[in-house]
């Protein structure tokens, strides 16, 4: 199965960025761990700080009917454009799992709302890298 893992803004700084919240491991380490956890599956990885890049990739996933694991970073909380792209995908029956390293509900008020969650297939948050691993298990189980 082909799965696209997408990380949004500031997640290229994993390991350097607020390690007390996001941990000390890098994005490259996360991607290597996920690849190792899904033998026989084709995982593709992408990170961008740009909303347009994320939307364009999700549109490509619509065309190819590719399931997505998405950490939208701070776009989670306000990007209606990203939400619309996600809705296009999931309303066509393609799975998109929203993941977060931290538990946004246990943090600042502005993080408590996700504009993505209502159009996501599922949401997994607060488990560090395990949020992604569990999303992978759920997608590859089908
Ligand atoms: C995050 C949570 C967001 O609120 C934040 O803006 C991020 C990372 C997480 O993985 O916990 O960039 O999505």
Q: Report the alpha-carbon distance of residue 20 to residue 2 in Å, rounded.
A: 33
Average of per-residue pLDDT values in the chain: 97
- Phi and psi based region of residue 15 (left: phi greater than 0; alpha: psi -120 to 50; beta: remaining): left
Residue 36 structure tokens: 């190792």
Confidence of residue 142 (pLDDT cuts 50, 70, 90): low
Residues 6+ apart with CB under 8 A from 131: 71, 99, 100, 101, 124, 125
pLDDT at 131: 98
**Residue 83 φ then ψ, to 5°:** -60, -45
User: Ligand 1 pocket: which of 20, 21, 71 to mutate (most atoms <8 Å of CB)?
Assistant: 71
Residue 101 structure tokens: 């390293």
Q: pLDDT tens digits, residue range 25-67? A: 999 999 999 999 999 999 999 999 999 999 999 999 999 999 9
User: Ligand 1 pocket: which of 5, 23, 74, 99 to mutate (most atoms <8 Å of CB)?
Assistant: 74
């Amino acid at each position: 199965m082909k799965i696209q893992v997408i990380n949004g803004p500031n997640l290229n700084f994993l390991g350097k960025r607020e390690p007390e919240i996001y941990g000390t491991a890098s994005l490259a380490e996360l991607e290597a761990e996920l690849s190792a956890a899904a033998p026989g599956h084709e995982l593709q990885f992408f990170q961008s700080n740009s909303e347009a890049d994320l939307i364009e990739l999700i549109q490509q996933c619509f065309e190819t009917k590719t399931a997505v694991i998405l950490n939208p970073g701070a776009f989670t909380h306000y990007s209606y454009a990203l939400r619309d792209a996600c809705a296009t995908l999931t309303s066509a029956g393609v799975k998109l799992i929203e993941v977060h390293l931290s538990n946004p509900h246990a943090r600042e008020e502005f993080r408590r709302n996700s504009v993505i969650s209502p159009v996501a297939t599922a949401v997994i948050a607060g488990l560090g890298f395990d949020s992604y691993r569990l999303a992978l298990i759920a997608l590859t189980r089908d």
